[in-house]
Every structure is written in C-alpha cells, then in structure tokens.
Structure 1
C-alpha cells in the first residue's frame, strides 16, 4: 500500500498508486527485520506487538467460555496461539502478494506485519489491468484456501478440544480476512480488482482509481452502519467493543479511500507531463572538439545546453557552463571540451515520447542524482531534461 503509501488493512497490498512518489525513495517501516521474501525484508512493526496484546486480551473471554477446562494462564496461552495463527495467515497472504508482484515485474520493497494485519509494498508501473488484478486477488484467495484447509482439519478432529477450537477459529478468521479484503473498494484488495476492471472497460486507470476510491468510502460507511444499525434491526444492543473496532476500521478505510482518490487525481495531472515538453534545447558537439568549438556551436542559441556525443551519436555528457567559462580564452581552442563535461549516468537517456508515471519512474531509477539527463529523438540527442525542473512541474500539478 509509493507516497510512502499508507498502511493497509489486514492482508491488503500497497502498490504504486502515487506516481509522484517515484521521485523519492520509500522509507521502510520501522520494526524488526526477521527474514526476506521475494528479495524484500519482512518487518515486524512495534504496532503488531500492541495488536497482539490487545487481541489476546479480547479473545481470552471467548476461550474461557468455549474451553472451560482451560484455566489460569492457559487461557492467555490459547488466546495468544490464536493471535499467532491469525497473523501467520495474514503473513501468507502477504507472501502471495509479494511473489505475484515480483512475477509481474514489480520490485517488492517490504512485507510488514502491522497493527491492522500487514501490507506488501512494491514499486514499478502497473502497465495492464490484469497485472494489478492478479497481484490483488491472490492474497484473499490464499486466505480462502487456508480457511478451507483449517475447516477440513476441524471436521476431522475426533473430539472437542483446544486444538479443535484453534482450528475452528483459524478457519473463521481466514474466511473473514479473505472475504473482507474482496470488498470492492480501495484500499482493500477488492478495490484494486475493481480499479483494474474499470481500467479495462474504460481504458483509463485514473477512472478506475477514482471509482474504486469512492467505492471504498461506501465500504467504510457500510462497516460503521453494520456496527451501529444492524444490532437495532436484530433487536439487540450494540456491543461497544464491536462499535469501537468498527469505527477505527471505518476511519482507516475512509482515509485510505480518500488517499486513493487523491492519487488518481495526481496521476491524471502527471500524465500530461512529457520529456519533450519538459526538455530544453541542446546543441551537439563531438567528443574531442575544443571548448572554442562548443562556444561557437551554442552562440545564438539561447538557453541551450551543449551535449557531447561519441562518433556514433551516443550522449557522453553535458558541458558545465561555469567550467567552460573558467577556461582562459587563449586556451579555449586547445582545451578539449571533454575536460569540462559532466558525464550522464549510464542508462539515463530519456525517450522524448516518455510521459507521466513512466517518465518519473525512469528519471528516479536512472538519474543517480544527476542534474541533467539527455532526451533522445529517434535515438539521437534532441534536448536535455533538468531533473529539478521535472520535480517543480510535478509539484505545480
């Protein structure tokens, strides 16, 4: 859930919903790294410890009621065992997200176990609706499969026992996590599936994101209404614990849905940015030319950069005006222009037709802190792109 994207509800993935995030590095969640999956760290956050303690205390009364033979500290042990089963299931949900995301060409940056369950963070542009849908759906399907497995094992249990109770609870919780995450609204996995569906139908990912974001707000209101209204319909008093958790979850979903809508609007604004439109003119000189040759080439072409190329036309770097002006006039004709060149990072050249999130991702991935990168027209240098200018254009939009 890569602004850095907000943490997501139990088992939800978080992907590249904010195209502007690609111009900066996403920080890892704070916590303890306990391993790696799909090349990414697995992080246990401090908030999980809080969640584990709270859920253990919440489930303890249920254990006392359903397993009266368990007494004293055993109640806490059984309740905590259920919490571990629950978060273990969520972790497998995240592993499924991570493996499919990597298989679809994304770079997985972390799997985190958090207060709300967990999230999988990954970067890279989702180019087709089917990619986003596949990454999203495998998480809930993993929980549904686990629910079936635990239910079968429960049915095979010969007698009512603590292990049988844990199997029943694991089956129920996995079914809940899987089905809840399939609700059609961002930031849930079902919202990403809805986003992909609208994208496939309309051809616009922005429309998909905005539609799924608004659907997420409806889901948030539905969660709150379920806790407050349904008890009255059923003729019972609302349970304050259920209302409290539902209110927190609804607030979280509402916030995530709002951020998704905002990300869609940002993507729409950024889509109009092109390398050709943001680039400035360039004058090309060959490697081995003199500083005087470069000065003559750029004379009369205001605001143009001087780009040095190889005999094959490949960009080497751009001439630093300050360094060139520091060369004494008497030495300009004999000083090679290569002496005042700032090299371009390898692979930083930008195609003139590159636009939107693809442009930002390319610049972020290849500029390596450079101030200027070359813009290519049909394989030849046609201009240069000032990275700071790109960042300013993004902020304005």
Structure 2
C-alpha cells in the first residue's frame, strides 16, 4: 500500500512470542513459532478414554499403565502432525513464503502463512511436502519394527507410530480441500482456467464430495447391510466429516471473496467528504455540508484526519450557538492511521483496514486532501456481494465529482 503525503503509521501486528492467548507456545523451530492450542487436550483425552481400555484388554499386564501408553500415543500423533506442518513451512521457505506460525489443535494442525505470491506448481509442492514427511516417518518406523528388537510397550508404540503416519500421509492426499490433496485439484483447475479462484472452488466441492463418500462408506452402507456401525468409528467419522465440510466450505467462501477483491477500491466505495481543520466551528461544518452531504472529516495541525462530524449532532446545535460551538464537540474520533489513499485497493487495502480499530476511514488524494469517507460496512458489502456493482459505480462517480475542486481550508 502506498503512503499518503502525510506519513501514516504502519500498523504492524504486535509480537507476543509467549502469549497464552489461544494456546501454549512451544517455542520456535527454524525460527517458526509453534503453538499448542488448548483444543488439542480434547483429542488427547478422547485418545486416552477410547484406546486405554483397548490396550488394557490386549495386554492385561499393563493395568492402569495402559492409559499412560494411550496418552503417549496421542503425543506421538502430535509429533507426527508437527513434522507434517514443518514440512509445509520449510518447503514454503524455499520459495520465500513467510510462515507466521504453526498451530497444533483438535483437528491436527495447520500452518499459517503470511502474504505471498503462489503458482500452481509451487502450491502443489508445498502441499505434498506434508504427506511425504509422514510417509517417510512411517517407513522409518517400519524399519525399526521389522528389526524385531523392540518389545512390550515400545513395540506397541512403534507400531502405532507407523500406522498413524501411514494413515495421516494417505488421508491427506485425498483430492479435496482442506486436505493437502485438494491442492492438486486446485492447481489443475487453476492451470487449465487461469483462475486461482475457480481452482479453489472446485477443490472445495471435491472436499465436500469426500465427506459424503466417508459418511456413505462408514455409516450408510453398514446400516443398509443390517450391521450396526461401531460407535467410536461413527463418532470419528462425524468429527472428521464436520472438520472437512467446514474447511471445504471456508475455502469456497474465501475463493468467492478473492474473486471480488477488484471491487474493494477506496475511491470507488468512498462517499463524498470534505476536510476541515479541527479548529472549525459547527457553522463552518453546516456551510460546507448542508443537510450532512458531503461528510465532514476533521484534521489536526499535522494534516492527518482525526475525526468525523456527526451530521445529526451538528444539525441539532441551535443556529445562535453554531458559530461558537467547535466542530470537535459534535464529532467522533477516527482510529490512529485510519485513512487511506484513493489509489488503495484489493488485498493490501483489506489487510491494512483489518489492523485498524473503528469502522470509518478517511480517503485522501495524492496531495493529502480529504476526498471521501470509507465505511467498513460498505467494504464488507462489496466483498460479500451484498452491494450490487451498480451501487459501487454510482458511489465512484459521486466520489470523483465531489472531489473535484475541493481543497482543505
């Protein structure tokens, strides 16, 4: 995003390397923060409750220790997921894609990247690195088990480790988002159509089809055959299916948002506004903005927009007091840095607005003159499609017409 003539403070996310908000920091691996979400303890508890009795039944000598072994199983799963996500992050680093953090949670985990420029081929390589890492772990575990040197609990955990990584690796290459294999579908459609958004939508629908297939295979078919599905298997299918369906739906929605990013344009979406110094009176406001149109943005001695006049409050001031009443008395403050240039648009504009407090943002031209007022709701409507394109076009015309020949006093 380009800077206006008056320096605008960059809003950078505050670094909190040891914040407990949302999870427990586990430190950094290769400079990448790793966070253990509190939701992971739910899947750990489920693993202990579900598999502890099974292990105790299969090996009565374990006794209560079987539950500790089950917990160790959940930790091995955690390590497997961590290796999976690290493979994504480290492969992405080869293409200079910055990784914000790795989160390990109820559903396994995810790698959160910062903004980067992708391509179909690179997207596939980064996605496939995760399952490949799990298959390598499974192969290494199998070599250890096949050596026949492990006994008792160690042999049990090693076998679990092999099968867990084999399952994670194979399951994640299924061709549908949010699974890694969905990137294959996404990239194929992306390459064929030239549209990243169409690829993501196609891969999202493929993910929904996978959910339906899993439900049919593990629930519907056993019921039709007269067999009662295993309760634990049904619960796992429900949990995994819910996660996949939500992830696929989120991918489809995000792709639709991306397809509308070109409509997120500061100049096109802003309503006309005029800038006045914060020393102005209500009478000055009423002279420049009869009936509250255009909006009035106040700026300080540094020329930075600082407040927006509430037109209803200004209109309520008695005429006899208008000249003596400061405009600041009938205004509400803008957040620090809550102004953008007319040329700002797309993902960069959204990223900047997302870091600001408040819901109104002044729009300025290259000379720093206020030309418009951008509302958060207007941006959201343009992004979600609730606002028809014709409305955005009429606002653009109004903003341009209102901005001609207007200077700050």
TM over 0.5: yes
For 1:281, what is the secondary structure of its paired residue? strand
Task: Tell me by how many angstroms 1:198 deviates.
Answer: 3.1
Match of 1:186?
A: 177
Match of 1:9?
A: none
1:44 and 2:34 correspond: no
Match of 1:4?
A: none
User: CA contact under 8 A between 1:29 and 1:43: conserved in structure 2?
Assistant: no
1:252-308 Cα shifts (integer Å, max 9, x gaps): 4345434433443344456534322220112245x5875489548725796223345
TM-score, normalised by the number of residues in structure 2: 0.66
User: CA contact under 8 A between 1:224 and 1:243: conserved in structure 2?
Assistant: no
Specify which of 94, 97, 100 is matched with residue 104 of structure 1.
97
Whole-angstrom CA distance in 2 between matches of 1:31 and 1:382: 40
Aligned residues: 354
For 2:263, what is the secondary structure of its paired residue? coil
Match of 1:352?
A: 342
Specify which of 147, 168, 184 is matched with residue 159 of structure 2.
168
Specify which of 348, 353, 362 is matched with residue 352 of structure 2.
362
Specify which of 113, 138, 142 is matched with residue 105 of structure 2.
113
1:297-321 Cα shifts (integer Å, max 9, x gaps): 7257962233456899x64334525
Structure 2 residue ranges without an equivalent (≥5): 1-18, 388-409
1:298 and 2:292 correspond: no
Task: Tell me by how many angstroms 1:43 deviates.
Answer: 1.8
For 1:189, what is the secondary structure of its paired residue? coil
Distance 1:270 1:181, change over 3 A: same
1:84 and 2:75 correspond: yes
Distance 1:308 1:69, change over 3 A: closer
For 1:372, what is the secondary structure of its paired residue? strand
TM-score, normalised by the number of residues in structure 1: 0.68
Whole-angstrom CA distance in 2 between matches of 1:247 and 1:328: 70
Distance 1:391 1:371, change over 3 A: same
Aligned-residue CA RMSD in angstroms?
4.6
Match of 1:16?
A: none
Match of 1:56?
A: 51
Structure 1 residue ranges without an equivalent (≥5): 1-27, 232-236
Task: Tell me by how many angstroms 1:170 deviates.
Answer: 0.9
